[in-house]
Structure 1
């Protein structure tokens, strides 16, 4: 394989990973592990981070495989429809990563097998079935991140503690909201491809308001949850409120007074939520790891997320002028 082809192949895989999202699922799993028990083995913390991350990236590969015909219509620049990645390569990589995540998890706690099955099966069902069925798709997508938090707790205890279950609701509602906002930029392509998302069925304004309501549920639940953590409650709550202040700007873009919500404005709103959720997940690291270490994790990951998103996101979501029309 020559140098240019190798660079192109690596670039196709990196784009499939969506590296601006890659830090989030591991933080969610790590938050669950650190809140559930102390002391904790390093291997358990590593598994709490690695397994959700591996399954998350696997879901990107498998989702792109299942969405390849839809992407050929509205996003022909993506790796599979552009020909830079073969569909079977995406299927193989997704399968191997999912297997690696499962192996790491089961080595620590075999009881996670049900959550792993729900997570992987839910990711496949989202792309293959629920994504085209209105709000059900967003609810299923959010449930996967809620499951990642529950999974993280099971890396340090046998079963998720009842007192931490409200945080499952936090990540479920947050990611359902974020997923609704993410669909707002794709309404034209989803409609053309036959995907009846909630935004396609009910319109941008109703979808935006529904996302805001789900986001509000996540934020309020997180704020009350901070009052029950074992230590550093005030700092945990402060970081949650900081996340809320950032997230509110996204919904200002979505619901602000304007005649029409453009796809690029909707993308900017989702970019804000992609960065904001790093802050939200990090807030729950404060009680378990302490404010200094939690901040030390947050700053570099937030900088990486913002930088990579600025460099890659628009090109991943929008085809160059005329290219989508040519594909259609």
Structure 2
């Protein structure tokens, strides 16, 4: 008589599909889009260095952003066991310390690829990697703060890739208007990241993560997020008018008005409507980013 021992074998290696889930391809779009905005805003023809465009997109999205998602899931495995137990690490689809090893391997890959993008690209890669670990890992774990955590993610999702795209294409420091606009959109992204925290509200309460939805409550946190998203865009509009780009400024005004409509819907049910807003209001937000990028072409420095 034989016994089927396979019924009790614990998985030793990650499920390939779970690895893809771990690095969350859906999150790659914001940094890739911001990198493209940086490339456009530089004013340098893409045809002059197409490989820099492709290398930067791969680095910003699948590699650095994917690494940050893997590191965050590893460091958040106890929170996820409460909020989303079906995610790859708490569910066991990625067993043992494989989540950590994947994060470390992707960190090395990011630094390797970044070293081929020149000193500015490599410096930005180092900053992005350090920021990813500082956000998630103890003892720093900036994710615990509803101010510093979303601020750092917004900077790395929108500002840093924009700066990198412009610097890599220009082979030097971007013009000051490019840096200013990238910084404004990075500040506005703090509000977007705050809305993302709504989905983890219960687990964050139990694990001591002081996100704005936890500390302020959903209604007040949503209002703060709306103000944080809107004010930097008003600053961008003002700057474009100052730089004699009225048509681009008007287009962003229209998109901002569309966001105000979406914000009214969001505030009617902040927790329930946050995913809806991320699919609508945020689309208007990032569309404005590309319009601003085209406006910056040819402005130059001060």
Same fold, TM-score > 0.5, yes or no: yes
Which residue is equivalent to 1:153? 166
Partner residue of 1:85?
Answer: 94
Please report how far the alpha carbon of residue 224 of structure 1 lies from its aligned counterpart in structure 2 after TM superposition.
Answer: 3.6
Deviations 1:83-139 (A, max 9, x none): 112353333333333333333332121233332222111121112311112322122
Distance 1:245 1:52 in 2: 30
Distance in 2 between the 1:107 and 1:229 partners? 34
- Alpha-carbon contact 1:105-1:112 (below 8 Å) kept: yes
Q: In 1, distance between residues paired with 2:162 and 2:286?
A: 14
| Residue number among 44, 58, 68 corresponding to 2:52 in the alignment | 44
Structure 2 residue runs of 5 or longer lacking an equivalent are 1-10, 298-302
Q: Which runs of 5+ in 1 are unaligned?
A: 290-328
- With over 3 angstroms needed to count, the CA separation of the structure-2 counterparts of 1:238 and 1:96, relative to structure 1, is farther
CA distance in 2, matches of 1:280, 1:86: 42
Question: 2:107 & 2:292 partners in 1: Cα distance?
Answer: 26
- Structure 1's 262 and 107: CA in aligned 2 closer, same or farther, altered over 3 A? closer
Q: Which residue of 1 aligns with 2:187?
A: 173
Find the structure with the greater CA-based Rg: 2
Q: CA deviation at 1:180?
A: 0.8
1:74 to 83, 98, 104: 83
Q: Does 1:209 align with 2:223?
A: yes
SS in 2 for 1:196: coil
How many residues align? The count is 277
Aligned 8 A contact 2:18 2:94 in 1: yes
TM-score after normalising by structure 1? 0.74
Structure 2 vs 1, CA of residues 171 and 78 (structure 1 numbering), >3 Å: closer, same or farther? Answer: same
Larger mean CA deviation between 161-170 and 244-253 belongs to: 244-253
Q: CA offset at residue 25 of structure 1?
A: 0.8
Deviation at 1:246, TM superposition (A): 4.4
- For the 8 Å contact 2:31–2:156, the answer to whether it is kept is no
Native 8 Å contact 1:185 1:264 kept in 2: no
Aligned to 1:24, which of 30, 42, 55? 30
- Could you say if the C-alpha distance between residues 209 and 42 of structure 1 is closer, same or farther in structure 2, counting changes exceeding 3 Å? same
Pick aligned residue for 1:130 from 120, 142, 145: 142
Shift of 1:141: 1.7
Q: For 1:206-238, what per-residue CA distance to the aligned partner results, in whole angstroms no more than 9, with x for missing partners?
A: 2112211111123223324545789xx566445
Alpha-carbon distance in structure 2 between the residues aligned to 1:212 and 1:286: 25
Report the alpha carbon displacement of residue 177 of structure 1 after superposing the two structures with TM. 0.7
TM-score, normalisation: structure 2: 0.80
Deviation for aligned residue 1:264: 3.1
Which residue does 1:222 correspond to in 2?
236
**Native 8 Å contact 2:218 2:271 kept in 1:** no
Contact kept in structure 1, 2:146 and 2:210, CA below 8 Å: yes
